[in-house]
Amino acid sequence: MHEVFEHTADLGLRVTAPSLDALLAEAAAGLFEIIAGDLGQIRPREVRSFAIDGTDPVYLLLDWMGELHAAFEIDRLLLCEFAVAVHERGLTATARGEPYDPAVHRLAHEIKAITQHELDVHQTPAGWEATLIVDI
């Protein structure tokens, strides 16, 4: 589950999930919900693979969100399906989506940056929780 919330001139994302893998996948969905609004408008036509080194869950989230943001900003790729596997040296992931087409897709927000402000990832008795703020 994820929730987008307003934060001064920014938007925040709160995510909960039963595992770290699921948390990172859900955070990705939340990021693209901020960008595109309705993920249902994105078709999973192309696959993109990602690999991120690191062991700290906070920085894995930050770097993962940064890679996804770059995929949109540089390649104009809208993503809607995510599979993440965290291992002892980092994470590997696949994401599915399609190139942004203004005739087909409506964008909700332009993200300027993924911030470290209030960035948090922690394990709870029920699973994992994360908070992330994006500059819009």
Q: How many residues does the chain have?
A: 136
Return the pLDDT at 32.
98
Number of Cα atoms under 13 Å in the Cβ half of residue 129: 7
Return the pLDDT at 10.
85
Mean pLDDT value across residues 46-58: 97
Mean pLDDT value across residues 78-96: 98
Check whether 9 has a pLDDT greater than 70: no
Q: How far apart are CA 119 and CA 28, in angstroms?
A: 15
Q: Are 101 and 114 in contact (CB under 8 A)?
A: no
Confidence of residue 50 (pLDDT cuts 50, 70, 90): very high
Which stretches within the chain are classed as H helix? Answer: 20-36, 57-75
Q: Which CATH class is domain 2-135?
A: alpha beta
Domain boundaries, the chain: 2-135
Check whether 17 has a pLDDT greater than 70: yes
Check whether 99 has a pLDDT greater than 70: yes
**Against a cut of 0.75, is the pTM above it?**
yes
Return the pLDDT at 2.
72
Check whether 3 has a pLDDT greater than 90: no
Check whether 73 has a pLDDT greater than 90: yes
